[in-house]
């Protein structure tokens, strides 16, 4: 069964450093999302991406964050200057279309630890 993959599984970085989290969506999927989950809290939407552009972003997704799909396969989330409060699990999710938009397929996540 096709699945969403994410790398790395765990990233430790120092405050102020840049990190890039990578996701490989399921091949025929068109809509891509990043969510995050701070330990012990709920899953929160960060950004959605369709047709090579952001379709919506949350208040969390400030100027420190960016997304791109550089090569038609990878979908990346960049945090330019990490803060302690960016420590969380970051999940990539994809969906083939909007017929059943809630059926999103999540990757295993990247655990980001900012020290």
Partner 1 sequence: RKEVEQDPGPFNVPEGATVAFNCTYSNSASQSFFWYRQDCRKEPKLLMSVYSSGNEDGRFTAQLNRASQYISLLIRDSKLSDSATYLCVANGMDSSYKLIFGSGTRLLVRP
Q: Given the rule CB under 8 A, which residues bind partner 1? A: 31, 33, 35, 41-45, 48, 50, 55-56, 58, 89, 91, 93, 95, 98, 100-109, 111
User: Looking at beta carbons only, is 45 or 74 nearer to partner 1?
Assistant: 45
Closest distance to partner 1 from the beta carbon of 81 (Å): 25
Closest distance to partner 1 from the beta carbon of 16 (Å): 26
Closest distance to partner 1 from the beta carbon of 84 (Å): 20
User: Looking at beta carbons only, is 14 or 39 nearer to partner 1?
Assistant: 39
Q: Which of 20, 36, 29, 7 is nearest to 76 (CA)?
A: 20
d(CA 113, CA 115): 6
Q: What are the C-alpha distances in Å from 62 to residues 45, 46, 73, 101?
A: 13, 9, 24, 25
Does residue 30 contact residue 97 with C-beta atoms inside 8 Å?
Answer: yes
Report residue 23: phi and psi, to 5°: -140, 135
User: Looking at beta carbons only, is 20 or 106 nearer to partner 1?
Assistant: 106
User: Looking at beta carbons only, is 17 or 37 nearer to partner 1?
Assistant: 37
């Amino acid at each position: 069964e096709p699945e969403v993959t994410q790398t790395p599984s765990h990233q430790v970085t120092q405050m102020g450093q840049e990190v890039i989290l990578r996701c490989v969506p399921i091949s025929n999927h068109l809509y891509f999302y990043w969510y995050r989950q701070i330990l012990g809290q709920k899953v929160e939407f960060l950004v959605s991406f369709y047709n090579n552009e952001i379709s919506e972003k949350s208040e969390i997704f400030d100027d420190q964050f960016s997304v791109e799909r550089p090569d038609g396969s990878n979908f990346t989330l960049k945090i330019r200057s990490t803060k302690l409060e960016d420590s969380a699990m970051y999940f990539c999710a994809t969906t083939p279309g909007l017929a059943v938009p809630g059926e999103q397929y999540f990757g295993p996540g990247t655990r980001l630890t900012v020290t």
